[in-house]
Amino acid sequence: MQHRDYIPETPCVCINLRRIAQKVTELYDKALKPVGITVNQYSLLVNISKIEGCGTGELARQVRLEKSTLVRTLQPLLREGFILDRASGGRRRRCLYLSPTGEEVLKAAFPLWNRAQEEVAARLRGSHTNLMELFEEIDLWE
């Protein structure tokens, strides 16, 4: 068999990060299942709570999602009545707020999310702080 110079000898960082991200997402989603939301939806509820009255553009920038991805993720939250759009009639810009139901879901979800957060930190042992610093550094990449 002939060696090919274009076949890498080291594992792909990108593919491995994506695989690990999927595993961590599954852990959080499983933890949040009792309240019927995903970790992505939880993040949106938290951020809408922080920046009440935000539009989708502002929220997309805050959570660093493509606007189309954000809108797809918002749809079930709107449909379930967890968030409200209080935009004036005829306006294109959304004005998003948590509904009372959304507040209750967020309140019920927090301890579940917190347990998942603690589990991940425990599994990472001393690496948790270093990993969070690395995330901040990578987030600054252009």
Model confidence at 29, in pLDDT bands (50, 70, 90)?
very high
C-beta of residue 116 within 8 angstroms of C-beta of residue 32: yes
Q: What is the CATH number of the domain that holds 110?
A: 1.10.10.10
**Domain range enclosing 109:** 31-118
Q: Is the pLDDT of residue 2 over 70?
A: no
Considering the domain boundaries, does residue 96 fall inside one? yes
Model confidence at 1, in pLDDT bands (50, 70, 90)?
low
Considering the domain boundaries, does residue 10 fall inside one? no
What's the pTM?
Answer: 0.87
Considering the domain boundaries, does residue 53 fall inside one? yes
Tell me, what's the pLDDT at 22?
97
C-beta of residue 49 within 8 angstroms of C-beta of residue 106: yes
Per-residue pLDDT of 92-131, as tens digits, reads 788 999 999 999 999 999 999 999 999 998 988 878 788 8
Tell me, what's the pLDDT at 89?
67
Coil, helix or strand for 36?
Answer: coil
